[in-house]
Amino acid sequence: MGNIPHEIGNLSNLISLVLSGNSLTGFIPESLERLQKLQLLGLETNILQGSIPNDLCLLRMLSTLGLGDNELFGPVPACLGNISSLRNLYLQSNRLNFTIPVNLWSLKDLLTLNLSSNAFIGNLPSEIGNLKAAITIDLSMNQLSGQIPNTTEGLQNLLYLSLAQNRFEGRVPESFGSLLSLQSINLSYNNLSGAIPKSLEALKYLKYFNVSFNKLSGEIPTGGPFANFTSESFMDNEELCGAPQFHVPACYNGTNHHSKTRKILLLTCIPLSVVSILLALMTAFALKRRRKRLKPPTQFDEFSPQTFERVTYQELLRATEGFSESNLLGVGSFGSVYKGILTNGTILAIKLFNLQVESAFKSFDTECEILRNIRHRNLTKVISSCSSPDFKALILEYMPNGNLEKWLYSHNYFLDISKKLEILIDVACALEYLHHGYSTPVLHLDLKPSNVLLDEDMVARVSDFGIAKFLGDGENAAHTKTLATLGYMAPEYGSEGLVSTKCDVYSFGIMLMETFTRTSPTDAKFTEDFSLKRWVEESLPDKIIQVVDTNLLRPKEENYSVKVQCVSSIMELALNCSTVSPEERINMKDVLASLKKIRLAFLTNCGEI
């Protein structure tokens, strides 16, 4: 229980540190970089949060790094690929995302690589063949896509390979047949097509083989290890044929051709004016098949049926080019958002939920429930949803100007004081509606700049209701086990799981400070004893210019004193929003009124009104 103490970095002669299975919380301390003799770091099966610190890359003698089964998120530091001594890397069962760093494939002495059960995206590069010493490679249960590279012939020591439950397509590489040490291959739950290579018959040590739930075709090999495999290795590949032991049709010449011809005839000959009884039979047939196997989603929940046509799963695939990385807009805790363009030119945003992440199902259901019932100009607009047991997505209105985080931290973008005020007033309007304008108070619980989207007119829309919560009749607060983003979370939320409208007020206060200081609450300068809030607090009333974004206040510019007064008022309001005691925080009605008053005074004193 508890955090890993910062002082652990004082154990400079430590060679092995194993703290696995202790329910440890908090962040991985940066002070670990001082353990320059460390060879084994085992922090698996805890509740550690935050990102993997780059400081771990300074442990040049590290042989084994075990961070699996935690709640770590964000990208894997590319610099881990520079630790040439690394032999075992365990990062499984976290919330890590983005692409797998190219540098990892240069670890030619790596024995074990386990990145399973995360949210990695992108293609598997040809450089995977550089892991010549690898014994185990497990990349299962991610969102990897593209073709499996045919450059694996160098993995001659590989015993276990799992690429299951991703989005790989194309053929099973012939080069797998040269990996003579292989004992286990799992390629199930992908979109692989073509024949199973007969070269795999040479794998005499292969004991486990699974290509179920793909789109494979042709004859199943029977030689070598295939003589011992059962139908469980080949389930739900409609075009496979072979021996009776595999429970597939026998192979006949021309079978595939005639099967495809029949499908084309069915698709083209059934008239559009299908009678109702035929529709009923087809629906019953589809439901029966859905129970038996995974298939592309066919259930849609319309949010605006009067204004938007139904979008099929196939159209989503085409619109996003197969959920291509080039269309990726962002990655969150429960999935990824892609830009999609329909054939009629309509641009959409598709939020694809990663169902391998714990609570993703609940997040999808929560977001659907809330966005079905609330409407406001400053809330993200959901057009439709797409749902089946193995696929869940929300179809959203596309926001061409991205999110507030991009505008705060990208060097190519700039928001002046007036525009920042407008955006924050938009956000306050949304929260005021959620808390006071709806029949039941709605708690957002994850307010931060990345969840504030901007439309073509730079109007702000609050998004991502994945962990939001309705308060019951007469309830002022509730308990939850789902944690929000560190840095923005109210103290009572983080320590007790107690949530109320005042949690959103706290997050809004932190976001106010961040927006005008252009400094994240998780910036490296902040510690447990020195936070963004304390930094701002200590600057008032006379040192405010020391914390405010330098692009907003320039001493010799026009209306300098007016701008200083405006930002000072905003920071005072932010501190009133983020008091430790929720009872002392003001409500969103008063926050909105105060912001409008500050903006009016600013524009009046600048002569803009």
**What would the pLDDT profile of 386-412 be if each residue is shown by its tens digit?**
777 778 888 989 999 999 999 999 888
Q: Does residue 481 belong to any structural domain of this protein?
A: yes
Q: Does residue 39 belong to any structural domain of this protein?
A: yes
Q: Is the pLDDT of residue 283 over 50?
A: no
Q: What CATH code is carried by the domain that includes residue 563?
A: 1.10.510.10
Contact (CB, 8 A) for 155 and 130: no
Q: Are residues 418 and 367 in the same domain?
A: no
The H or E element that residue 143 is part of is strand 143-147
Q: Does residue 154 belong to any structural domain of this protein?
A: yes
Backbone angles phi, psi at 232, to 5 degrees: -65, -20
Q: Are residues 446 and 576 in the same domain?
A: yes
Q: Is the pLDDT of residue 271 over 50?
A: no
Q: Are residues 408 and 392 in the same domain?
A: no
Q: Are residues 463 and 596 in the same domain?
A: yes
Q: Does residue 262 belong to any structural domain of this protein?
A: no
Q: Are residues 348 and 322 in the same domain?
A: yes
CA angle 97, 98, 103 (to 5 degrees): 110
The H or E element that residue 386 is part of is strand 382-388
Tokens for 541, please give them. 């009333």
Q: Does residue 20 belong to any structural domain of this protein?
A: yes
Q: Does residue 553 belong to any structural domain of this protein?
A: yes
Between CA 379 and CA 469 the distance in angstroms is 15
Backbone angles phi, psi at 213, to 5 degrees: 60, 55
Contact (CB, 8 A) for 45 and 19: no
Q: Which residues pair with 90 in a beta bridge?
A: 66, 114
Catalytic residue among 446, 455, 464, 504: 446
Between CA 425 and CA 134 the distance in angstroms is 54
Between CA 595 and CA 600 the distance in angstroms is 9
Q: Are residues 35 and 75 in the same domain?
A: yes
Q: Are residues 317 and 172 in the same domain?
A: no
Tokens for 153, please give them. 């012939």
Q: Are residues 541 and 444 in the same domain?
A: yes
According to the annotation, is 419 in a ligand binding site?
Answer: no
pLDDT tens profile 517-571: 999 999 989 888 899 999 999 998 888 999 999 889 888 788 899 999 999 999 9
Torsion sign across C-alpha atoms 254, 256, 258, 264? negative
Between CA 144 and CA 53 the distance in angstroms is 24
Q: Does residue 263 belong to any structural domain of this protein?
A: no
Contact (CB, 8 A) for 55 and 41: no
Q: Are residues 425 and 567 in the same domain?
A: yes
Instruction: Label residue 253 by pLDDT band (50, 70, 90).
Output: low
Q: Are residues 450 and 576 in the same domain?
A: yes
Q: Are residues 241 and 344 in the same domain?
A: no
- Full domain range(s) for residue 386: 294-397
Once rounded to an integer, what is the mean pLDDT over residues 249-258?
62
Between CA 134 and CA 112 the distance in angstroms is 6
Question: In terms of pLDDT, which residue wins out, 45 or 365?
Answer: 45
* pTM, two decimal places: 0.53
523 annotated active-site: no
Once rounded to an integer, what is the mean pLDDT over residues 492-513?
93
Q: Does residue 26 belong to any structural domain of this protein?
A: yes
For the chain, what is the domain count? Answer: 4
- Of 114, 119, 231, 98, the C-alpha closest to 165 is 119
